[in-house]
Amino acid sequence: MKSRVVFYLITAISFLGFITFLVLNVTLGDFFTPTMIFGTFLYHFAMRLAVGYGVGFIAKTSKIFALEKPYCAFKKEAKLYEKLGIKRWKEKAFTFNKSLFAVSADNLNELIYQMKKAELIHLIIIPLGYLTLLFTLFCSDFFYFWIFLSTAFFTSFIDLQSVVIQRYNLRRIFAIKNKKPLKCG
């Protein structure tokens, strides 16, 4: 099953679960925890969809995606990526739509555009994930703070992984496109 379909399915299930438990909590009580769990899942998945489509909409008219310098990895950064062994594990990372990142000689400009867009999307999502900490305002027990903090940290780690992969690959794609390494500073 395609990653996109799974993502939409989890978002829909989170929405239905949140609404169901919210109604049960309001009418019967004692359903606060499942309401918060489904609400947190819904926030994380719906926020990612909204940011992704929002950046995609803005990216169509923005000239920032035509610039090469702000998106290249610096030499020390590239060495760090090598030490992290990105080459070995990057193919196993979750990708919303793998077809957007297919490499061929005739689609390098489109590939670069998609990679820049993906990097920006994940950079925006990382701090937005921590907004779930505001959900603790609805909680009487401080224990929920640690749950929201741990989910925000976990999701930011996954999004940071995507940023690292994009930056690692962009340097290599620019070198292929320009037939020489890209100099960043």
Could you report the per-residue pLDDT of 73-121, keeping only the tens digit for each? 566 777 787 788 877 777 777 777 666 776 766 777 778 888 888 888 9
- For residue 97, CA distances in Å to 52, 114, 158, 160 come to 11, 10, 16, 18
- Answering whether pTM is above 0.85, one says no
Where exactly are the structural domains of the chain?
Answer: 3-178
Q: How far apart are CA 74 and CA 62, in angstroms?
A: 24
Q: Where are the alpha helices (DSSP H) in the chain?
A: 3-27, 32-59, 75-84, 86-89, 108-129, 143-178
